[in-house]
Structure 1
Amino acid sequence: MVTAGIDLAAEAVRTAVAWLDWPAGRARLVRVEVGADDALIVDAAMGADKAGIDCPLGWPDRFVDFVTAHRAGHVHVPEGLVGRAWRRDLALRVTDQVVHEQTGLTPLSVSADRIGHATMRCAAVLAELARRGRPVDRRGGGVVVEVYPAACLKRWGLPYRGYKRAANLGELGRLVDCLREMAPWLDLGEYEAICRASDDAIDAVMSALAARASARGLVTVPAGEQDGAAATEGWIALPTAPLECLVNDR
């Protein structure tokens, strides 16, 4: 099995892709690319058994309805709700709220934050995959699954804050050290240096690990009423088993 991890930003310069090969009982980082363009992202997803994308796969349904209503001049504020309370479902998808409930982390709002630019790019990538015969199930059931590296790190007991940007290379190095200690079966090989130098690269690696968890059924999936929203908004797959379960049957 090969899993790909895509740390998707609005522009190629901050986008990284990582490929993990999974021989019996081990994982090997076989390639990392920083500065990935759309063509490389599509090729990575097409060639992987499972690809984890660190980017929202859609917008909140209620936000889409709100924008449509606003265009027609018919915005309606629910009775009894004011301010942040009624805007919550416009800013956060169902999956974002579930992630917050389960981890205490709040994903960036695709409708009210700059990550919306990355999601516009992601929409074009998903459309190209569909044109090539790999339509995406935004619930995570197909080749692509939406992932959230910070939540994965937290659930797997790894440092999940303070490692971003060049000013925090020490913390990034500590994260890599902890990953090597907790996952001795993971061979970073010649790409360990770039993982220590680029938080985009390590997020891509975490996304590839999360893709493996999804492929093995070791992640959360939408249930009940969540399923309908996830089909259009996307669904963040959170790990439900320890890191070592990616390479064993426990």
Structure 2
Amino acid sequence: MRSGGIDLSTDPRKTGVATIEWYTHGARLASASLGADDDSLVELIDHADRTGIDCPLGWPTAFVDYVVAHRDGGLDLDVPPTRAPLLLRATDRHVVRKAGVRPLSVSAERIGSTAMRCAALLSRLVEAGTAVDRTGGSGAVVETYPAAALKIWQLPFRSYKGRTTEAQAVRAKLVEGLATALPWLDLGGHENVCREHDDVLDAVVCALVAGLVLLDRCDPVPPDAVQEARTEGWIALPPVIRPDGPAVIPSVRPRQGSP
């Protein structure tokens, strides 16, 4: 099978992409690069069995209702005692509880601009007849959050973004850590581009999580959050990796024509 990863940005030049081929006893990073317009992203998604996207797939239901009520006159609007329901989706709160990291607020922070591009991309997929399930349980895409995945894997999840010497050093350590934590993953000669660009490295993590979703190794959406997840999106959290524990991936049936 093949999984894709997209570290989405408002700027196509800053959008990282990756694809991973999964074989009988492991996986290989087949491609990893920086720069992708919407046509390229649609092609990547079409050629993958599941693609992880590092971007919110929706907005908090309470926020959408609040904005619609304001548009329609706002006569019954009150400032809520806490703005948390307007700022964080059900999945964001779940990630805070399970992984101890807080995703950016799609309704109040700059990630909202990226989510607009993502919404247009999802619309394009649906119009073309591609199944989109924002819970990630089926369909072509799943929402991913590299920082949470890296923390769960006990790898560096902060200070690796940017062009500073410190960030580059952290990325080098992170690439080395991935190779150690996931010995079944062949980076396919793409180590340098992962060290050079944090957007590409994030895309690789997205592709890894998307593959683990396909292998049914990620946490399912809790039953009481399914309804919200269908509209707001849901971040897939990968399993904990323990060096002395069982392999993260079971045997995988190769794609047709794979070695």
TM-score, structure 1 normalization: 0.93
Specify which of 86, 90, 103 is matched with residue 90 of structure 1. Answer: 86
Kept after mapping to 1: 8 A contact 2:212/2:249? no
C-alpha separation in 2, matches of 1:37 and 1:238: 27
> What does 1:32-111 align with in structure 2 at a 5 Å threshold?
32-71=32-71, 72-77=73-78, 82=81, 85=82, 87-111=83-107
Counterparts in 2 of 1:174-213, with a 5 A limit? Answer: 174-213=173-212
Distance 1:246 1:21 in 2: 16
Corresponding residue of 2:161: 164
* Structure 1 unaligned spans of 5+: none
Task: Please give the secondary structure, in 2, of the residue aligned with 1:106.
Answer: coil
Structure 2 distance, partners of 1:75, 1:213, is 45
Q: Which of residues 101, 109, 113 is equivalent to 1:117?
A: 113
Residues 144 and 235 of structure 2 are in contact (CA less than 8 Å); yes or no, is this contact kept in structure 1? Answer: yes
Q: Residue deviations 1:129-164, cap 9 Å, x none?
A: 112221210000222110100100111121111111
- Residues 62 and 90 of structure 1 are in contact (CA less than 8 Å); yes or no, is this contact kept in structure 2? yes
SS at match of 1:166: coil
Task: Supply the AA of the counterpart residue of 2:144.
Answer: V
Residues 66 and 75, structure 1, Cα contact 8 Å, conserved in 2: no
SS in 2 for 1:66: helix
Could you tell me how far apart the structure 2 residues matched to 1:47 and 1:100 are?
A: 32
Aligned equivalents of 1:241, 1:58: Cα separation in 2 = 26
Deviation digits for residues 66-125 of structure 1, max 9, x if unmatched? 0011122235337xx53xx2x110011010011111111110000000001110000111
Distance 2:206 2:52 in 1: 5
The Cα of 1:16 is off from its aligned counterpart by: 0.7
1:247 to 222, 240, 249: 249
What is the one-letter code of the residue matched to 1:89? Answer: P
Calculate the TM-score normalised by the size of structure 2.
Answer: 0.90
- Taking a change above 3 Å as real, the CA distance of residues 190 and 221 of structure 1, as seen in their structure-2 partners, is same
Structure 2 residue runs without a partner (length 5+): 252-259
Within 5 Å, which residues of 2 pair with 1:135-154? 135-141=131-137, 142-154=139-151
Matched-pair contact (CA < 8 Å) for 2:215–2:249? no
SS of 1:242's equivalent in the other structure is: coil
Structure 2 distance, partners of 1:109, 1:238, is 18
Task: Tell me, yes or no, if the aligned pair for 2:239 and 2:248 is still in contact at 8 Å.
Answer: no
| Number of residues of Structure 1 aligned to a counterpart in Structure 2 | 244
**8 A Cα contact 1:172 1:199, kept in partner:** yes
Partner Cα separation in structure 1 for residue 69 and residue 130 of structure 2: 33
2:85 counterpart SS class: helix
Establish whether residue 235 from structure 1 lines up as the match of residue 234 from structure 2. Answer: yes
Deviations 1:216-245 (A, max 9, x none): 111122223311100000000111343874
| Deviations 1:148-201, CA, capped at 9 Å, x for gaps | 001001111211111110111001100001111122221112211100101001
Matched to 1:150, the amino acid is A
Query: What is the aligned-residue identity percentage?
Result: 45
SS of 2:168's equivalent in the other structure is: helix
**What's the RMSD between the two structures over aligned residues?**
1.5
Corresponding residue to 1:131 among 124, 127, 131: 127
Return the structure number with greater helix share.
1
SS at match of 2:3: strand
Q: Distance in 1 between matches of 2:247 and 2:125?
A: 30
- Residue 28 of structure 1 is matched in structure 2 by 28
